Homo-oligomer: A and B are copies of this chain.
Amino acid sequence: MIEPFILRKIAKQALKEDLAYGDITTDTLFPHPIPAIGHIRAKGPLVVAGMDICLEVFKLLDACLEIKRGVKEGQEAKPGETIVTITADGHALLKGERSALNFLQRLCGIATLTRKFVEAVKAVSEHVCIMDTRKTTPGLRALEKEAVRLGGGLSHRHHLGGDLLFIKDNHIALAGGVTAALTLARKRLSPTTKIEVEVTSLAEVGEAIAGRAEIILLDNMSQATMREAVVLIRTEAPTVRIEASGGVCLENVTDIAATGVDMISIGRLTHSAPASDLSMDISTRW
């Protein structure tokens, strides 16, 4: 959950991009308040996400608006279904429409795509998790990770500074190998910190186990290698959690899940989810 005072700041920033110099059309056409009602509707099937930031946009423009939510966050809306109805001054609806929908279409898009991945893996595994990455839109990370959760996915680390020390390919390159990197990492580390390491071969899996990594990320491995790696890890280091990543798409995610990994992290959830198709219809109330 993102606190309202943080949402408000993000919403303000979006509105400033669009409204910093006023709305010449709305203000010229309608010099007086217009009692109005707006319906935001799904035009295709989607999973609802981003409703809080969407509504925050309108609240900034009309503090007295009334909201009636149709479809809850995390639930699926059918084409034509009304997601939310907003009763407000028409100025607020006209001026906020684009900014609000820009948030909503992106975040519903992410939740919808995540849901597809979650559904896809259910067939082969009860417990495998669909995870997000840090491949998010600059400025919108918290919102996008929340949308992944609403779609049924889970959050990988939020930023570089948390309680997870995550050794990736370029760290390994500069450190001189997986073993070297794990040794450096172990030197002086808080006991509250977990260590994850990215590996690309069975040899590196061995180094990761020997170096006592707590999570091992199998990156861009063939499914055959991945299966071998899973067996190796389950045998040698049964408490280690296993993550897979690299070019995951709806076509291959079921096979990857079937290898027995615990987590599949997918960049495209946030960087390439197509926007959901939504529209807002505004009409007068009188």
Contacts and interface: CB of A to CB of B under 8 A. Distances in A.
Interface stretch (A7-15, A201-209, A225-233): A7-15
Given A13-B138, A164-B163, A158 B21 contact: yes
A79 to B, nearest CB: 14
Interface of A is mostly: mixed
A161 B22 contact: yes
A22 B142 CA distance: 8
A14 B175 contact: no
Nearest to A97: B170
Given A3-B19, A192-B196, A34 B174 contact: yes
A191 B129 contact: yes
A170 B168 CA distance: 37
A10 to B, nearest CB: 7
B61 A3 contact: yes
Contact of A17 (B15, B34, B141, B281): B141
A184 interface: yes
